[in-house]
Amino acid sequence: MTTPATREAGRRIGWLMTLAGVVGWLASFQLTVDDWRLLKDPSYQPPCNISPVVSCGSVMSSPEGSVFGFPNMLLGLGAFAAVAVLGVAVLTGARLGRLMWLALNAGALVGVVFVHWLILRSVFGLGRLCPYCVVVWIVTIALFWYVTLRNLRRGVIPVPPAGRGVLSLVLDTHWLLLAAWYGVIAVLVLTRFWSYWSTLL
């Protein structure tokens, strides 16, 4: 039986999926447009080329920008569109099956691992920050975090009895843990580029 609390939790995850999907798709779309313009005109300067550190063009043209032989943003266009559609379906009352939730969780896991590899390469390898890429990082992490918590809470991903106390604590402090996750990334970015940030003070 579906309780009001369960319905409200379902609406929250539906809104999160929809917003994450739309925001991630828009960021991927803008990157796709800028990448296409760069291909047509190598002298084109994307509007996100703000400074020597904050720059999209150099990131898109790097090997990390096309890991699988085509621009990474094409993956984002497809994946975020699917997430947005599923989010709208959940909001309108559709009940996704267990396999669908597991597939979504698996996709989000692959996405969050890929995003963290890109973060490390961007910050410590390329020495550049792409603003639209940062947006994709943020929404991918949030999507993985809350889809995983939803599946753990609803039993889609089984939790052994010994782990239920830990799960309860995580559910009670979910936003603090997510903020700490973002905070660690922010500290890495701040310290890596401190010589640049300090010139802006």
**In order of start, what are the domains of the chain with their CATH numbers?**
4-200 (1.20.1440.130)
Rounded CA-CA distance 25/181 in Å is 23
DSSP secondary structure letters along 67-128: TTSS-HHHHHHHHHHHHHHHHHHHHTT----HHHHHHHHHHHHHHHHHHHHHHHIIIIII--
Q: What is the pLDDT of residues 146-201, one digit of tens each?
A: 999 999 999 999 999 999 999 999 999 999 999 999 999 999 999 999 988 888 77
What pLDDT, in 10s, does the model give residues 24-82? 999 999 999 999 998 898 888 888 889 889 988 888 888 888 998 889 999 999 999 99
178 touches 145 (CB < 8 A): yes
pLDDT at 43: 86
| Amino acid identity at 42 | P
pTM: 0.93
pLDDT tens, position by position, 75-90 = 999 999 999 999 999 9
Query: Residue 95, SS3?
Result: coil
